[in-house]
Amino acid sequence: MSRRVVITGLGLVTPLGVGVPVTWRNLIAGKSGIISTTSLPNYEKDGWDKIPSKVIGKVPHGSLTEGKWDPEDHFERGEARRLALFAQYGLAATKEALEDSKLINDTDTPKDRIGVAVGSGIGSFHDLYENAIGFNESGYRKVQPLFVPKLLTNMAAGNISIKYGFQGPLHSVSTACATGLHAIGDAYNFIKNDYADVMICGGTESSIHPLALSGFARARSVTTEFNDTPEKASRPFDANRNGFVLGEGSGIVVIESLEHALKRGVNPDNIYAEIKGYGLSGDAHHITAPLENGDGAYRSMKIAVERSGINVNDIDYINAHATSTVIGDRAENNAMVRLFGDNTNNVAVSSNKSSIGHLLGAAGAVESIFTIKAIKDSIVPPTLNLDQIGQHKEDSQSLFKFDYVPNVAKSKDINYAICNSFGFGGVNATVCFKKFS
């Protein structure tokens, strides 16, 4: 059974703002959502001051009318206390996506034909830390009754399903930094294989915590430079890149079969894009470092392109995973060069992590939304802080041959685009999107 799968709703919570309009506007304007930990209220008390990396991509706090985050804008006070922050972000983004798709008012679609596939790479870091400290200091009585339900990575998906009564496939992948993109790809397959007509899918993460940042700093994964100029810290493909910036947020996408969307009255002009193919692979190499030749990334992209039924030269834009690490950006670039060969002149490549940091399990979902918006609006978001392309001392400059859209967004008609996500454990995911027609 061949079913076309289209995108009809989008929802975002990011360091650039709460909601798709404000986030997209700030992204295209070249703004940064990366801040210094020195601005946090308990900088010394919580131990941020002892961590060599002092930059994070944090969802801004304030009123929703200003495009910022206040849980009371989304939940009753008692409800918010029962939900971990990553689940709150996922629920808020879901509501926006459902309203955007007009599905929130749909009463005709059977609930068992609507599913949820929303993942998280880590779940509730805060609850794990607080309950471990409470148990260590005072024992059993200090462990919260909702500790385990708040901790689990599938609880964003579970709470979305329960809140809206969606009884179709309930799925929560957790594949590190490929989580959000795997969730969208898996949801696409659920619709293609007729498990559902509609899927609410994406990723959510809230790991801005001193213990989390400490762990990534000890692993030498995050940047320790540009602490005084946080907006310059994330610099994918740049000569001075030296680590990623830890971020948080959520991206939720409503996808459905084209037949179902048209049947329920969706205006074709309001369809954002179509999903054409999904690729995934494993490096089988190292728990944190990719193969330098990018073989796993190459195979993931190649599968997505082949399953889309297109030629690689049809691709106009790549939303790169590029996290601003030395080896990671090089490996992905090597994979792209291998995929495209000499036909790189017309391909735009950019990394949104320069603007928001690395949202871990939410990254692929948020970046898919940016890819979808790029197709719909015919504009490629910029790669910020890209001053010297690929000229790191260990890089071969001759291999950095794409248009990386440095610092300023550019207008471009995009018919096909791919979005990449790669994660610890050697996991790779790619989704191919097409302009809807």
What CATH number is attached to the domain comprising 178? Answer: 3.40.47.10
Dist CA 8 CA 343 (whole Å): 32
What pLDDT is stored for residue 392 in this prediction? 72
Do residue 22 and residue 165 come from a single domain?
A: yes
Task: Determine which one of 201, 321, 419, 432 is catalytic.
Answer: 321
Do residue 342 and residue 205 come from a single domain?
A: no
Do residue 234 and residue 281 come from a single domain?
A: no
What pLDDT is stored for residue 344 in this prediction? 86
- Among the candidates 240, 270, 300, a domain finishes at 270
Polymer length in residues for the chain: 437
- Among the candidates 228, 255, 270, a domain finishes at 270
Do residue 140 and residue 206 come from a single domain?
A: yes
The structural domain count of the chain equals 2
- Among the candidates 239, 270, 301, a domain finishes at 270
What pLDDT is stored for residue 304 in this prediction? 98
Positions of the chain with pLDDT lower than 50, given as ranges: none
What pLDDT is stored for residue 47 in this prediction? 97
Do residue 149 and residue 176 come from a single domain?
A: yes
* Long-range CB contacts for residues 145-152, cutoff 8 Å, separation at least 24: 146/82, 150/82, 150/83, 150/84, 150/87, 150/124, 151/84, 151/123, 151/124, 151/127, 152/123
Q: Which helix (H) or strand (E) holds 170?
A: strand 170-171
Cβ atoms of 287 and 425 closer than 8 Å: yes
What pLDDT is stored for residue 342 in this prediction? 84
Do residue 236 and residue 281 come from a single domain?
A: no
Do residue 291 and residue 372 come from a single domain?
A: yes
Task: Determine which one of 74, 126, 358, 392 is catalytic.
Answer: 358
Do residue 216 and residue 196 come from a single domain?
A: yes
pTM assigned to the model: 0.97
Cβ atoms of 30 and 409 closer than 8 Å: yes
What pLDDT is stored for residue 390 in this prediction? 85
What pLDDT is stored for residue 343 in this prediction? 83
Do residue 151 and residue 17 come from a single domain?
A: yes
321 a catalytic residue: yes
419 a catalytic residue: no
What pLDDT is stored for residue 74 in this prediction? 97
Residue 232 domain boundaries: 5-270
The pLDDT tens digits of the residues spanning 160-197 come to: 999 999 999 999 999 999 999 999 999 999 999 999 99
Do residue 152 and residue 237 come from a single domain?
A: yes
202 by DSSP, 3-state: which? strand
Do residue 385 and residue 429 come from a single domain?
A: yes
Dist CA 423 CA 70 (whole Å): 30
What pLDDT is stored for residue 391 in this prediction? 75
Do residue 183 and residue 39 come from a single domain?
A: yes
430 by DSSP, 3-state: which? strand
Write out the DSSP string of 121-152: SS--HHHHHHHHHHHHHH-GGGS-TTHHHHH-
201 a catalytic residue: no
Dist CA 422 CA 19 (whole Å): 25
Task: Determine which one of 74, 126, 171, 177 is catalytic.
Answer: 177
